[in-house]
Amino acid sequence: MDGAPVGRRVFLGLLGAGAAGILWGSKAQEWLEQHVAPYLAKDGTGLSGFLPIGRFRIYSVTGSMPHRSHDEYRLQVTGLVDQPLTLTYADLRAMAPTGITRDFQCVTGWRVYDVQWKGVRLADVLERAGVQVGAKALRFRSFDGTYTESLTLGQGRRDDVLVAYELEGEELSDAHGGPVRMYIAPMYGYKSLKWLDRIEVTDEVVPGYWEDRGYDVDAWVGRSNNRDDNST
């Protein structure tokens, strides 16, 4: 179904967002064939591996797909913390995992039903670093060098906010922001920053990439239909 040409609503949404550099339609298809297909083949996941990709649109505001291997990967936790952290991929894997299955929704109008995510609770990472008195917010940075996002500390401590490393039972691909990305279950997709490499604990919310371009900082998915759920 998502292999079909991008719907008018989505297309207008992209235009409305002034979203230069976002990949979609045939351009995305071309990119997937060049970059994702070999990755999947290497993983031995075969054609079924395309399913999650096929259900999503792959976004990168920089028009490129950064890559970092599990060995190279580091997550920095800095700012207003007692103990600044540098976590490896293995460190994250060694922490208690949490799984969440929820619809994934982009403000431009597409939705993927019942997506399975796995990772560690951001709350647990913060706990490990020790958040200092006076801290109020979190800032996330991507190793694409451009994208940023933020949450209030309260939002970041919710049970449904993950530092994610698996999607649909597979390690996160480069395309989906691997090896590690944010997954903010109760909010629109743009809050879920891909290619996460730094979490900074700050004293105020700094608007992120899309928020500088007009999106809401508090991006709760609405309750306008029965499938949306931001109550947990």
Ligand X SMILES: Nc1nc2c(c(=O)[nH]1)N[C@H]1C(S)=C(S)[C@@H](COP(=O)(O)O)O[C@H]1N2
Tokens of 200: 């900074």
Q: Which does 179 bind (CB under 5 to 8 A by kind): Mo ion, ligand X, none?
A: none
Interaction pattern, residues 193-222, with ligand X; x per rule: CB under 6 A: xxx---------------------------
- Which residue, 58 or 138, is less far from ligand X as judged by CB? 58
Q: Are 87 and 75 in contact (CB under 8 A)?
A: yes
Q: Closest approach of Cβ 87 to Mo ion, in Å?
A: 27
DSSP result, 126-190: HHHH-BPTT--EEEEEETTSS-EEEEEHHHHTSTTEEEEEEETTEEPPTTTT-S-EEEETTB-GG
Tokens of 75: 């997550």
| Pairwise CA distance, residues 22 & 64, whole Å | 9
Q: Closest approach of Cβ 37 to Mo ion, in Å?
A: 24
Task: For residue 119, state whether it binds ligand X (rule: CB under 6 A).
Answer: no
Interaction pattern, residues 34-63, with ligand X; x per rule: CB under 6 A: ----------------------xxxxxx--
Task: For residue 102, state whether it binds ligand X (rule: CB under 6 A).
Answer: no
| Pairwise CA distance, residues 164 & 15, whole Å | 29
Kindly list the residues in this chain that would bind ligand X in the complex (CB under 6 A): 56-61, 106, 142, 144, 147, 176-177, 189-190, 192-195
